[in-house]
Every structure is written in structure tokens, then in C-alpha cells.
Amino acid sequence: MPLREACGVLGVASKTPILNLLQVGLRALQHRGQESAGLTIFDGEHITQKGMGLVSEVLDDFGEEFKDGTVGIGHVRYSTAGGSSMKNAQPMTVSAVTGELSIGHNGNISNQDKLRQEKENSGWAFMSDTDSEIIIRMIANYLSKNHTIKKAIQLTMEEIIGSYSIVLLHNDEVYAFRDPLGIKPLCVGQINDGYVIASESAAIEVMGGQVVRDVEPGEILSISSNEITTHSVTNAENKAFCMFEYVYFARPDAKIDGILTYNVRQEIGRKLWEESPIDADIIVPVPDSGIACALGFSEASNIPYREGLIKNRYVHRSFIQPVNEQRKATISEKLNPIKEIVEGKRVVLVDDSIVRGNTSKRIVQSVRDAGAKEVHIRVGCPPIISPCFLGIDMPSRDEFVAPNRTTAEITKEIGADTVEYVSVPGLVKCIGKSEDDLCLGCITEKYPLPIEGERQRGQATLEEFEA
Ligand code: SF4
């Protein structure tokens, strides 16, 4: 940490007005994107409010025209494809021959450059830099060729390659579709007067609803106030659920494809102890994302768990600080050690992941400054050695601390006494899914989809081939 998620999406169809529900649901998904927020409600036409900032900043004051609508979609965003600007904020709306279309997209289309080029060569014009606009314009184009909305979505899915969990408002109908590998999460639930689609199950629960199920990888469905309807499912032999959702991104109370992320994180803590035990006095989580993992480590090791680092919850959005110096200053403002807890102790800091290493380095130094005798780090994610091309905003390879360094070199760079990571097989075991059904691209350099210049999983290297 800290990495930036790309987006969170939400769709609601109800018998009663939904403005408040959309606000509640988007606040519950705020961790997935903090750069822009928006919602579109149907009330005779699509009406949208969106802007740069948090849900509480952008979506707290509405005109009367928003108050009666009973169907709509919402979105929170951190930019991946396309830059950080208002023109890329979602939902994004276009006019099609059949009416209005609005889209909320989480993910990243890996063949977007090729598609954009093809479409521009055929005379299409785009208003934004996003892959989401390519998708919505492709759907609108198929509608203009007399296809139904379901067929238009299906034909678009056949052309786009990448990760996508999408909510789509077509006039007053709410659709959802998910890529055939199921890379990003998406689930559907029931509320008092209707149905909800959300990136994470926890949002449905916070909205007072009950989770019905995950949207299947490759599925196109729609919700109305009365029912969920599946239109088609495109099956892929193997799936590619993003391992990082389990490790860090999703809320700890989210269930992704039937698995509670909190349990996975605790299990990783136990596995870390099994794989890399250490003599120590206290286990200290790096809050908040290291908490469940640290608890698992503490339980397995019988070393006491102590909250020795305190997070200032009112310092927001450190990751949005564009300049490294600003980011560093915010890190020390954000996490402060309790001297009385760490002084004279052999401390094990448990973190969910290490990306650049800057944050870990500063935390280690601050815990040493507070008097710790030894500072060890245990990490709940194997070394990140390769970028994500599928929807998570990560630095480039040369900014990661792990590539081309041994664990001893990383330990030295960070200034800890020891640094150990959970192994890839250990992580896979803790998630409880087959390795063939997970995306492990950023930790194995093997991606589940063709990505230019990168290896695809299942491909043998020349050395493997020769062996
Ligand atoms: S590359 Fe890493 S972060 Fe990106 S989808 Fe795959 S597992 Fe998730």
C-alpha cells in the first residue's frame, strides 16, 4: 500500500426514489476511487451530477429534479485509462437511436488503443480519453444497426479485451455485465423495494439490502424493481479474479465470489508465521489494511497483538498528492507510533503489501525513533514486480522496490531487521481458489490476457520449454 483502485460502480432499480440510496452506496464504495464521483438518475430523461472530489463533496446537494427518480447508476473513480479530469468523470452519457445510455465502468480495456484507432479511422469522434467511452459508443453504434440492447452489449463484449465490471443505464433499464474472466468484482442484491448491483457486497449491506449473488463472469443481466434477469453468460474455461482485491483493495467485510476478504487476510497472517517465523515481543499492524493479517500472525505465533501505530483518519487522499515530497510528508502525518508500546521491544510490523517501499521505510524509521529494539516486516502479498494492466493504478516497473532485488537487498533498502513476504503458493492457498482462476499478473509477470510486450499465463518460457 498505498495503491489506487480504479473505480466502484453501483446500479439501483426500485419502486421508490433512490437518490439517498445511491449516496449511501457510493459512500460505502468510496475506498475504490476518491478522485471523482457521480450519479445518473432516470426521471423521464437521464440527469447526472458528477464532479471531482469525494462523494460527500460532490454528491451532497441536489436539485428537485433528482428527487423522484427510481432507477439510476453511480460511480466513484480513480483514473487509470484516461487522465484525471472532469471530462473523464462518470457516469458518462451518450444519445443512441433508442434513447439515452449512461455507463459506470470499473476495469481497464487492454485493447483500447487499437479499438480507438480503428474507430477514429472510421470517423468516430471521442469526447474523453477513457476506455469507458469507447465501450458506450460501441454499444450505441450497435443499437443504430437495429440490434437490441442485450445484443449490442454482447457484440461489444466480443470485441473488448480486458477487465470490466459495468453498470449501464439504458433509458429506465439498469444492466450490468462483467468480463468473462471475472477480474473485477460485481454482485447483485435485494433491497426493500427493488434490486441493487454493486462492486462490493458490503455496499449492498450498508444500503440495508441482502446480497443475492455475484454477477457471473461473462454474464449480462438486468435488474428491475421486481426481478433480476440473466440475458446471457459467456463462459471462459478459467477465471482470473484479481488477487489484490482479496489482499488489499476490497473492504474487509466484502465477500468476493463467495469468499470473505477478512478471512483471507487473517489466513495470510497465519501463513506468514508458518513460512517466516520470528522471535519477537509484539505484532503491530500497519493500519488499517494490515489489521486482519496481523491478527492472524499474532494468533498463530502467540505473540501479543498491539496497536502500536495510530492512523490519523482525517488526513485523506495522501495518494493523490502528485509530488513525492508531498506524499512523504503526508505519510508521517498519517501514521504515528505509540512510544510506550514499541519502546525496547522487538516489533513485527505486518502490512498488506509493499509497492515503492517509501511508506515502509518511513514507518520503520519512525518505529525505531520511538525506541523499538528491532523492527521486522511481514508482508501479506508476494513482491510486486510488474504493473497492473487491468484496472489498478500502479507505478511503472522501475518505481517498485522489489524487481531485481533479493529479500536481503529489500530489507536493507527499507531499513528493517528482516523483511519477508508470503509466497505465491501460500497466498493462493489462503484465497482458496485454484491458481488458474486467479489473476497474479503483478506478482508473477504472467497475465491472464494478451498484453503487448508481456507474458500470458500458460505460456512456457524458452527455458521451461527446453527443460
Ligand atoms: S495484475 Fe495484479 S492488481 Fe492487476 S488485476 Fe491482476 S492481480 Fe489484480
Q: What are the structural domains, with CATH classification, of the chain?
A: 7-236 (3.60.20.10), 262-444 (3.40.50.2020)
Residues 6+ apart with CB under 8 A from 248: 1, 3, 289, 352, 353, 380, 381
Q: Residue 125 pLDDT more than 70?
A: yes
Residue 440 Cα: closest atom of ligand 1: 7
How does the average pLDDT of the chain come out, rounded?
Answer: 91
439 is catalytic: no
Q: Is 247 in the pocket of ligand 1 (CB under 6 A)?
A: no
Q: Identify the H or E element spanning 466.
A: helix 462-466
pLDDT at 450: 87
Q: Is 115 in the pocket of ligand 1 (CB under 6 A)?
A: no
Give the model's confidence band at 305: pLDDT under 50 very low, under 70 low, under 90 confident, else very high. very high
Give the model's confidence band at 86: pLDDT under 50 very low, under 70 low, under 90 confident, else very high. confident
Scored b (16 or more CB within 10 A) or e, 381-404 reads bbbbbbbbbbbbbbeeeeebbbee
**What value, to the nearest 5°, has the Cα angle with vertex 55 and ends 53 and 60?**
110
Segment 350-354 shows an average pLDDT of: 95
Q: Is 388 in the pocket of ligand 1 (CB under 6 A)?
A: yes
Q: Which residue has the cell 486467479?
A: 438
Q: Which residue has the cell 441493487?
A: 196
Q: Is 400 in the pocket of ligand 1 (CB under 6 A)?
A: no
Q: How far is CA 204 from the centre of its chain?
A: 17
Q: Is residue 193 reached through a cis peptide bond, with omega within 30 degrees of 0 on the bond before it?
A: no
Q: Is 441 in the pocket of ligand 1 (CB under 6 A)?
A: yes
**Ligand 1: which of 183, 355, 431, 435 to mutate, most ligand atoms within 8 Å of CB?**
183
Segment 159-186 shows an average pLDDT of: 97
Residues 6+ apart with CB under 8 A from 244: 3, 353, 381, 388, 392, 442
Segment 338-361 shows an average pLDDT of: 95
Which residue owns the Cα nearest ligand 1 atom 5? 242
**Ligand 1: which of 1, 184, 243, 249 to mutate, most ligand atoms within 8 Å of CB?**
243
Segment 265-280 shows an average pLDDT of: 98
**184 C-alpha vs ligand 1 centroid, how far in Å?**
9
Segment 73-78 shows an average pLDDT of: 93
Q: Is 438 in the pocket of ligand 1 (CB under 6 A)?
A: no
pLDDT at 231: 95
Least confident of 192-206, 289-303, 331-345: 331-345
Least confident of 288-292, 343-347, 459-463: 459-463
Segment 4-11 shows an average pLDDT of: 83
Q: Is 387 in the pocket of ligand 1 (CB under 6 A)?
A: no
**99 C-alpha vs ligand 1 centroid, how far in Å?**
36
CA 70 vs CA 27, 126, 167, 181, 441: distances in Å: 19, 30, 16, 31, 40
**179 C-alpha vs ligand 1 centroid, how far in Å?**
14
Which residue owns the Cα nearest ligand 1 atom 4? 388
- For the stretch 190-223, pLDDT in tens is 999 999 999 999 999 999 999 999 999 999 999 9
pLDDT at 53: 92
Segment 24-52 shows an average pLDDT of: 95
Q: Residue 458 pLDDT more than 50?
A: yes
**Ramachandran quadrant class, 415 (left: phi over 0; alpha: psi -120 to 50; beta: rest):** left
Q: Is 439 in the pocket of ligand 1 (CB under 6 A)?
A: yes
Which residue owns the Cα nearest ligand 1 atom 8? 242
Other beta carbons within 10 Å of 234 = 16
**1 C-alpha vs ligand 1 centroid, how far in Å?**
14
